[in-house]
Structure 1
């Protein structure tokens, strides 16, 4: 591993409950539940320890023995997080300096790496290398969860990437109350997809289909936004979309296999 952290310092924006949507998805995932060593890395935790501490609390509900290690390139952020932890100790949490090389003591390999709002400032061409570096540090069968969310956590999207650096799925998670259009997720697509939301690309087809079926399901709003969302998702399935996570539709969440949104190959 490199002696210096690999990557760029992020903006550091963070906030209480900002990452709750992706946290609860990870908490229920088989990769975490079946891990022999339930070590999770929070890569690029930002200017505060809060989202790392919240991650550990949420994951502990399904894996009480989970450990979470927050990594940041900026040494001042690491020192601040360590001071916060010292003031209010939480078992199973630690902080250290690190980047895409994911340095861990004793040669340990994490079951999960969460890297939210980290690649947003990078170029699309940098994504594959970052994925490769991070996934090379995973335990066999582990996963990278890489994505983006808005500042208050009401709109979130993430990609599950396997330990072979191959993306497996895209998940969109939206707060349904007062949702105007599902296409709001387009503003927060992961870096690998955000510039692909144009006609002719699969992810644009998905976003357009979400809006179309949401509008068609407007009559169901009488029964609440969850009923409307379920109706829209059912219509998408009927139209041939290979949606994942039916049990999580009630949360305003839906996933698709990567092949359904993968960018078109270049010329």
Structure 2
């Protein structure tokens, strides 16, 4: 049950690991919310049993914004105590939940990966709203999930007004079908991967394009993926980015392309 007072949310399993969130981190680093803000304050919400992914996030973003400040927030006091020993310049840790307690400061970006996976679908909108309310005016909330090794991931990019984009990011080497991401969809979409829903149509079309361009596998999986993405874009799908992003195994589309039916 979500707490009415104090930190809002529930303790997660806390699974973490080196490089697990590298895919979402490099996507975040490319977003305008980080480049344009006057206060590059970033929150890693629900970082888990160790400080690993929070420290990695700061190192990756510092390449673009050396002045970035990352705050790891956890609802488990013991995890905060352990992580505090790893605090260093530009990285701190504190107790909290979806309310993102920062003493009145507002983050430019909130990363909440593998946090809502254990929640029910009907709880997602409330959690999103609580986190979005803490953002800077042009801020970004990134919420999603990934597998244990970080090779299969997907996430929603949200602004203060609501969800904007949906991203899939896959390790292309030895990829059999893009729909492998179905098991790692955000909670808002994972139960909607059924006929008649937009997310199901997207994954079906992506699998079909991947199969169609199988002959390009002789040139490598990257070329096959790029051709698949270009096929979807040619069909009218609102695909974001360019080949520079697609070659990373990414596909970002408008949220409207996958939004659940009412």
TM-score, with length taken from structure 1: 0.95
Quick one: distance in 2 between partners of 1:242 and 1:145? 19
Match among 90, 95, 109 for residue 97 of structure 1:
95
SS of aligned partner of 1:33: helix
TM-superposed CA distance for 1:3, in Å, is 5.5
Question: What is the aligned partner in structure 2 of residue 61 from structure 1?
Answer: 63
Quick one: distance in 2 between partners of 1:234 and 1:29? 22
Q: Any residues of structure 2 matched to 1:62-81 within 5 Å, and which?
A: 62-81=64-83
TM-score, with length taken from structure 2: 0.97
Quick one: distance in 1 between partners of 2:5 and 2:237? 45
Quick one: distance in 1 between partners of 2:62 and 2:92? 15
**1:126-172 deviation digits (Å, cap 9, x = unpaired):** 001000100111111101000000000000100001112x1000000
Question: Are 1:29 and 2:60 an aligned pair?
Answer: no
Moved over 6 A (4+): none
Quick one: distance in 1 between partners of 2:231 and 2:76? 46
**1:62-120 deviation digits (Å, cap 9, x = unpaired):** 100000000000000001101233xxxx3100000000010003x11000000000000
TM-superposed CA distance for 1:244, in Å, is 1.1
Instruction: Give the stretch that moved more between structures: 226-235 or 9-18.
Output: 226-235
SS of aligned partner of 1:102: coil
Task: Name structure 2 gaps, 5 residues minimum.
Answer: none
Quick one: distance in 1 between partners of 2:78 and 2:113? 20
Match among 122, 135, 152 for residue 149 of structure 2:
152
TM-superposed CA distance for 1:10, in Å, is 0.4
Quick one: distance in 1 between partners of 2:190 and 2:5? 32
Q: Any residues of structure 2 matched to 1:8-47 within 5 Å, and which?
A: 8-47=10-49
Q: Any residues of structure 2 matched to 1:1-267 within 5 Å, and which?
A: 4-85=6-87, 90-105=88-103, 107-164=104-161, 166-246=162-242, 247-265=244-262
SS of aligned partner of 1:251: coil
State the number of aligned residues: 258
Quick one: distance in 2 between partners of 1:221 and 1:95? 45
SS of aligned partner of 1:84: coil
Quick one: distance in 2 between partners of 1:236 and 1:140? 32
Quick one: distance in 1 between partners of 2:156 and 2:203? 16
Quick one: distance in 1 between partners of 2:229 and 2:99? 38
